[in-house]
A and B are shown apart, each in its own frame.
Chain A
Amino acid sequence: MAKTGEEIRQLNEKIVGAGYFVDALRQEIGQVIVGQHHMLDRLLIGLLSNGHVLLEGVPGLAKTLTIKSLATAIQANFNRIQFTPDLLPADVIGTLIYNQQQNEFVVRKGPIFANFILADEINRAPAKVQSALLEAMQERQVTIGDHTYKLDDPFLVLATQNPLEQEGTYPLPEAQVDRFIMKVIVRYPEMQEEQLILRHNVQGEKLPPIRPVVNVQEILDAKSLVREIYLDEKVERYILDIVFATRYPGRYQLEKLAPLISYGASPRGSINLALAGKAQAFLNKRGFVIPEDIRSVVYDVLRHRIGLTYEAEAENIAAENIIDEVLKAVNVP
């Protein structure tokens, strides 16, 4: 829907008012988590844009603590599911169990019934469990027996993958990975940050408890505001140019990339880039999207949607390098 300048201005004002919790959340979680601002921002983008986030990083980078702290700060439910090779779909979504006293089957809901789910090491479970989770993520509902149950709103799944171990894992197929709005690489903390972490742990300082700073309703309101954020046609075109450059590099004078890309980003890539751009604009307390918002989320949104060829892998070229080249070639409106 086309908006007038005045409507955008009013939306901007609303967002400045509604987005107060972003700073409050950052501050509150910052008391417990040292660094990892990028991961926290990406979780918020996932939360506000109704998407799910795939985290990749070695163990011990405070992934669980971050999402747990976020859930507490939002007054939301949190469940963690450790994916193992013997996990069954029923262990995730729930099952029917027989109640002898009442002589009937009753529903035992699985851990997926929560606002925040940490699917730890998702690539350790076989395909049927992965697909049960991913289907629930997509549909936002699960069917147990004859009944279909809607999942809570907000519903954010954070799946983690351990990049170090490959044995005994079931890597997510490209089509499944595409369902995540972003794939975030969680990096090691900076030296100064790690010094702080070290001090906290060695001195046995108890971390301050996380206080709730925002409630679920405010998050839901913010989500609807994010949808309203104005995305100009020029920015839309910019998004499409980026995505199309990954598909048809030759059209953007990027012929050298053609042998390195086996497949480009899907239409879901364009949609998610726009949604994540809107959420990023919200975090920056703006009622409209500018190309900077797109650029700041483009790596996380597209890195898992670009297929690399053997040639690229042989030359140690990552999806990030491809995105770098694309951004250097696509004109900013």
Chain B
Amino acid sequence: MFIKRAWIIVLLYLLTAGFNASLLAQAPTVSASVDKNKILLGEPVLLTLEIKAPPGSKIQPVKIDTLPHFEFLSKDSIVKDSAEGQLILRQYFRITSFDSGRWAIPPIVLNAEAKTASVLMDVVFTEPFDPSQPYHDIQDIRSIPFKLGKQFEKWWYMIALLLIMMTLVVYVMTGEKKPRAETKAYKSAYTRAKQQLAELKKAQVPESRFYARLVEILRAFLSERARVNSLQQTSGDLVEKIKPLFNDGQLYQSLAQVLSLCDLVKFAKYDPEDAEARSAYEVIDKGVDHIEEGIRNAAKLKKDEDRRTEMIHKK
């Protein structure tokens, strides 16, 4: 009796279990998946919607028009497939988001029993900075071998030839003219000063102009020959600057007095005697000669000194 009842229970159980299993096998299932769970703003993501159902099932297509925080970029048509005796309907959506934050793709409902789980998605503004990572260039520096285009090769030959020619021309020009230019400057400062002094002596100019011109000639000569920025020096400063150029103390004193006299004429409308003008002229003239001689002697001495030093070094 007991065995009979147990058999009935087992039989009933097997019957109900088989019925339930057949029922479950017939219910369609739906799932949603994404190819990545973290995107930058505007970065596309592939959303795959997959429905599995028994063959011959009538499945109403799922209409997804909007997803909160997401935009649809494209919708592919539904692809039919079958596997393990089941019908598989697959649809791909390309979506993106322009809202940064953590958003969920809500469950997509096929029917009351079949719906997807919600999919979490992080939408970030930028990749977070990881201070623990070593610094590196945005892109590794690549070495690219230099290759000259064939069309330029002949030009390179031309440029090289031109450069050689230019170097030769410059060498010929400077190599010969450099010492000449020095001699010219050296001579011209002195000769020009003397020439200008001679012209001033002959010219009939007002006294104020005569003295101003006298100082101008001296200043220009000093500027060029003695490398003294005499044009920007006051008479007092100039007298101090030219002191080392004079061995003759008396001439130096006279020159200082003449410069002072010139200041009087220029700035205080002083009217000097003719004799003073002649004397001032002579002092400036002698001063120019003296400075020129001093500079020549100094240059000669330096040359001798250099030669002597060279000989000592050779020995």
Which residues of B (231-257) have their CB < 8 Å from a CB of A?
231-237
Query: In the complex, what residues of B have CB within 8 A of residue A3's CB?
Result: 269
Bound CA–CA A4/B263 (angstroms): 16
Q: Name the B residues within 8 Å of A4 (CB-CB).
A: 269
- Please list 14 pairs of residues, one from A and one from B, whose beta carbons are closer than 8 Å in the complex, sorted by A's number: A3-B269, A5-B271, A230-B267, A230-B268, A232-B266, A232-B267, A232-B268, A288-B268, A290-B235, A292-B234, A327-B232, A328-B229, A332-B231, A332-B233
Besides A3-B269, A290-B263, A291-B234, 16 more A-B contacts (Cβ < 8 Å) are A4-B269, A5-B269, A8-B270, A230-B269, A234-B266, A287-B268, A288-B267, A290-B234, A290-B235, A291-B267, A331-B231, A331-B232, A332-B232, A332-B234, A333-B266, A333-B267
Provide the A14-53 mask, 1 if CB < 8 A to any CB of B, else 0.
Answer: 0000000000000000000000000000000000000000
For the complex, give the distance between the alpha carbons of A331 and B234 in Å: 9
Q: Which chain B residue lies CB-closest to A332?
A: B234
Q: Which residues of A contact B269 (CB under 8 A)?
A: 3-5, 8, 230, 232
Q: Restricting to A189-238, which residues have a CB under 8 Å from any CB of B?
A: 230, 232, 234-235
Q: Mark A285-308, 1 if CB is under 8 A from B, else 0.
A: 001111110010000000000000
Q: Does A329 contact B (CB under 8 A)?
A: yes
What residue of chain A has the Cβ atom nearest to residue B229's Cβ? A328
Measured CB to CB, the nearest residue on chain B to A327 is B232
Contacting residues, chain B, for A333 (C-beta < 8 A)? 266-267
B207 to chain A, nearest CB (A): 10
* Total A-B residue contacts, Cβ distance less than 8 Å: 52
A221 to chain B, nearest CB (A): 22
- The number of residues on chain B lying at the interface, defined by a beta carbon within 8 Å of a beta carbon of chain A, is 15
Complex Cα distance, B229 from A333, in Å, reads: 14
Asked whether any CB of chain B lies closer than 8 Å to the CB of A72, the reply is no
Cα A8 to Cα B263 in complex, Å, equals: 13
Mask of A133-157 contacts with B, CB within 8 angstroms, 1/0: 0000000000000000000000000
Give every chain B residue within 8 A of A289 (Cβ-Cβ): 267
One of B232, B234, B235 near A328 (C-beta < 8 A): B232
Nearest 5 A/B pairs, CB to CB? A5-B269, A288-B268, A292-B234, A232-B267, A291-B234
Chain B 260-294 residues near chain A, CB threshold 8 A: 263, 266-271
A residues in contact with B232, CB < 8 Å: 327-332
CB under 8 Å from chain B, chain A span 155-196: none
CB distance from A251 to the nearest CB of B (A): 15
CB-defined contacts of A290 to chain B, threshold 8 Å: 234-235, 263, 267
Contacts of B237 in A (CB 8 A): 292, 295
Q: How far is it, in angstroms, between the C-alpha of A51 and the C-alpha of B133 when the chains are bound?
A: 68
- Distance between A54 CB and nearest chain B CB, rounded to angstroms: 26
- Asked if B271 and A292 sit within 8 Å, CB to CB, the answer is no
User: Is the C-beta of A270 less than 8 angstroms from some C-beta in chain B?
Assistant: no
**Nearest A-chain residue to B269, judged by Cβ:** A5
Residues of B with C-beta under 8 A to A329: 232
Instruction: Give A295 to B237 CA distance when docked, in angstroms.
Output: 10
| A281 CB, nearest partner CB in chain B, Å | 10
CA distance A39 to B234 in the complex (A): 23
Q: How far is the CA of A333 from the CA of B263 in the complex (A)?
A: 9
In the bound complex, how far is the Cα of B233 from the Cα of A329, in angstroms? 10
Which B66-125 residues sit within 8 Å CB-CB of chain A? none
A280 contacts partner chain B, Cβ-Cβ < 8 Å = no
List, in ascending order, chain B residues with CB within 8 A of A234's CB.
266-267
* Contact (Cβ within 8 A) A292 B267: no
